[in-house]
Amino acid sequence: MGICDGRVVIVTGAAGGIGREHALEFARQGAKVVVNDLASTDAVVEEIRALGGEAQSNSDNIADWDGAENLIASAVDHFGRLDTLVNNAGVLRDKMLVNMTVDQWDAVIHIHLRGTFCPTRHAAAYWRQQHKSGTPIAAPRIVNTSSPSGLYGNIGQTNYGAAKAGIASFTVIAAEELSRFGITVNAIAPSALTQMTEGLTGYVAMVEEVKARTGFDVGSPANISPLVVWLGSDESANVTGRVFNVHGGSISVAETWVAGPGVSKDARWEPAELTEVIPDLLARARPNSTMAGTPR
- Interatomic CA distance for residues 73 and 26, integer angstroms: 20
CA distances, 8 to each of 26, 28, 34, 130, 159 (Å) = 9, 13, 8, 15, 33
> Could you tell me whether strands 243-247 and 184-191 are parallel, antiparallel, or unpaired per DSSP bridges?
parallel
Whether 160 is catalytic: yes
- Interatomic CA distance for residues 232 and 22, integer angstroms: 10
The identity of residue 47, as a single letter, is E
Candidates 81, 9, 94; CA nearest to 44 is 9
Distance of CA 71 to the CA centre of its chain: 18
CA distances, 125 to each of 39, 128, 261 (Å) = 27, 5, 41
Q: Given 32, 74, 164, 225, which residue is catalytic? A: 164
Candidates 113, 122, 176; CA nearest to 144 is 113
- Report the SS3 class of residue 196: coil
CA distances, 150 to each of 112, 170, 188, 285, 290 (Å) = 12, 12, 11, 21, 11
Whether 164 is catalytic: yes
Q: Given 146, 160, 191, 225, which residue is catalytic? A: 160
Q: Given 74, 146, 147, 233, which residue is catalytic? A: 147
Helix pair 115-132, 158-178: axis angle to 10 deg: 10
- Interatomic CA distance for residues 165 and 86, integer angstroms: 17
Phi-psi region of 6 (alpha: psi -120 to 50; beta: other; left: phi over 0): left
Whether 211 is catalytic: no
- Report the SS3 class of residue 33: strand
Which residues are known to be catalytic? 147, 160, 164
